[in-house]
Amino acid sequence: MSQRLMIYSDGGSRGNPGPAAIAFVAFDGVGELVKAGSRFIGVQTNNQAEYEALLMALRFAVDLPVKEITCHLDSELVAKQLTGQYAVKNTALQHLNRQVKSLLRHFEKVSFVNVSRSHHQIQRADALVNKVLDKEAKKCLEDKNQHKSSVRNYEGGFKSKFSHASIRTSNMERSIIFYCRFFGMKVKSRIEIKQTNAQIVFLQDSAGEGGTLELTSYRSQTKFTQPVYEERLFDHLGFEVLDIKSTIEAMREENVAITDEPFELNGETTIAFVEDPDGTLLELIERK
């Protein structure tokens, strides 16, 4: 395989923020297609989706024997932020920008090319993005119809399904970065509640298979207290992780509070406890 790779990435959000998808196409040095990929990433802004698309392409590229990579983007903002021509002021984009630059260290030569949205390879990636978004919209509609038809059971009572857990945060963007960084969660939606001057953000794993976490921030709230553990009504949130020791070490490097080091609960389960930036207790679970 050629040691040069050319990637064309694109991300899109219907709503900005809204349901978002990402895609890329990659070619070797002689113009042969190496890979085309796409996926749904939950609720994101257009700029976040553009970064996520590039990250997906780079994560694919790091496993290839390539030394030189050329990144083609139709987002002038993202291209110029990565080359240092524009400052990155948005907190969420700062986090994504750092991830991209970390992956770029794997290559000897990297260049960014800002291309027109009408570029035929960007159009190809854009078509993949829209295909994913159309599929997700259809799935959401089917799920909604199925939910309506299954609310009542045959005995005339009501069925229910656990929806989500909610916690408050004193700093919304900080909490979003924490849960996305360590647990791979993605923003599903953001809601502004004008009556209480509050913002609500729903997070879920990128596959959309696990439970949903609701973060709530009241902008007028100035006092934040977390009762000592023995006096709390709410106990903890639980997250299954693939490698509990690596997760704990990554958290330790970023000064996350580790309240209980990993220990074996039984022959098949190891657990540990940490605190999120606001002191909410979290249980980490690794199953063999």
Res. 158: pLDDT tops 50: yes
Q: For the residues of the chain, what is the DSSP string, one character each?
A: --SEEEEEEEEEESSSSEEEEEEEEEEETTS-EEEEEEEEEEEE-HHHHHHHHHHHHHHHHTTSS-SEEEEEES-HHHHHHHTTSS---SHHHHHHHHHHHHHHTT-SEEEEEE--TT-HHHHHHHHHHHHHHHHHHHHHHHHHHHHHHTSB-TTSSB-----EEEEE-S-HHHHHHHHHHHH-EEEEEEEEEGGGTEEEEEEEETTS-S-EEEEEEETT--------GGG-S---EEEE-S-HHHHHHHHHHTT--EEEEEEEEETTEEEEEEE-TT--EEEEEEE-
Question: Does residue 149 lie in a domain region?
Answer: no
- Same-domain pairing of 105 and 209: no
Would you tell me how many other CB atoms lie within 10 Å of the CB of residue 63?
8
Terminal Cα distance for the chain, rounded = 38
| Whether residue 103 sits in one domain with residue 25 | yes
Range(s) of the domain holding residue 114: 4-129
Looking at 81, 104, 129, the residue that finishes a domain is 129
Q: What percent of the chain has pLDDT over 90?
A: 67
Look at residues 43, 52, 54 and name the one whose alpha carbon lies nearest to residue 20. Answer: 43
- Kindly report which listed range (61-70, 111-120, 135-144, 203-212) carries the lowest average pLDDT score: 135-144
Cα dist. 209→68, 186, 190, 204 in Å? 37, 12, 19, 8
Q: Of 47, 46, 56, 48, which is closest to residue 23 (Cα–Cα)?
A: 56
pLDDT over 70, % of the chain: 93
Q: pLDDT tens, 205-238?
A: 887 888 899 999 998 888 888 777 677 788 899 9
Q: Is the pLDDT of residue 119 over 50?
A: yes
pLDDT of 223 reads 83
Please check the confidence at residue 244 and state whether its pLDDT lies above 80: yes
Name residue 247's amino acid.
T
Q: Is residue 88 domain-shared with residue 173, that is, in the same domain?
A: no
Same-domain check for residues 281 and 193? yes
Same domain, 171 and 263: yes
As a whole number of angstroms, the longest Cα–Cα distance in the chain is 67
The whole-number pLDDT of residue 90 equals 86
- CATH code for the domain of 122: 3.30.420.10
* pTM of the predicted structure, to 2 decimals: 0.56
Q: Looking at the domain assignment, is residue 140 inside a domain?
A: no
CATH, residue 267:
3.10.180.10
My answer on whether 96 and 205 are in the same domain is no
pLDDT at 124 over 70: yes
Boundary residue ending a domain (74, 105, 129): 129
Are 87 and 195 found together in one domain?
no
Q: Is the pLDDT of residue 155 over 80?
A: no
Only one residue has tokens 């930036």, namely 277
Query: Tell me, what's the pLDDT at 154?
Result: 45
Give the total number of structural domains in the chain.
Answer: 2
Same domain? 171 vs 268: yes
pLDDT band at 162 (very low <50, low <70, confident <90, very high): confident
Mean pLDDT of 169-190: 93
Confidence of residue 149 (pLDDT cuts 50, 70, 90): low
Q: Is residue 82 part of a domain?
A: yes
Are 19 and 116 found together in one domain?
yes
The predicted-structure confidence for 253-265, as pLDDT tens digits, reads as follows 999 999 999 998 8
Shared domain for 274 and 188, answered yes or no, is yes
C-alpha triplet 77, 41, 57: angle, nearest 5°: 60
Residue type, 155: E
**Weakest mean pLDDT among 3-7, 108-112, 219-223, 281-285:** 219-223
In angstroms, the Cα distances linking 10 to 38, 54, 65, 122, 182 are 9, 7, 24, 7, 25
> Cα(189)–Cα(251) distance, rounded to whole angstroms?
26
122 vs 25: CA distance, rounded Å: 8
Buried b (16+ CB within 10 A) or exposed e, 162-189: eeeeeebbeebeebbbbbbebbebbbbb
Residues 11-67: pLDDT tens digits? Answer: 999 888 888 999 999 999 999 999 999 999 888 889 999 999 999 999 999 999 999
Q: Which two tokens stand for residue 16?
A: 């900005």
pLDDT of residue 157: 55
Q: DSSP labels for 43-57?
A: EE-HHHHHHHHHHHH
The per-residue pLDDT of the chain, averaged, comes to 89
64 and 15 co-located in one domain: yes
In a domain, 151, yes or no: no
Domain boundary among 105, 129, 153: 129
Does the pLDDT at position 270 exceed 60? yes
Is the pLDDT at 152 greater than 90? The verdict is no
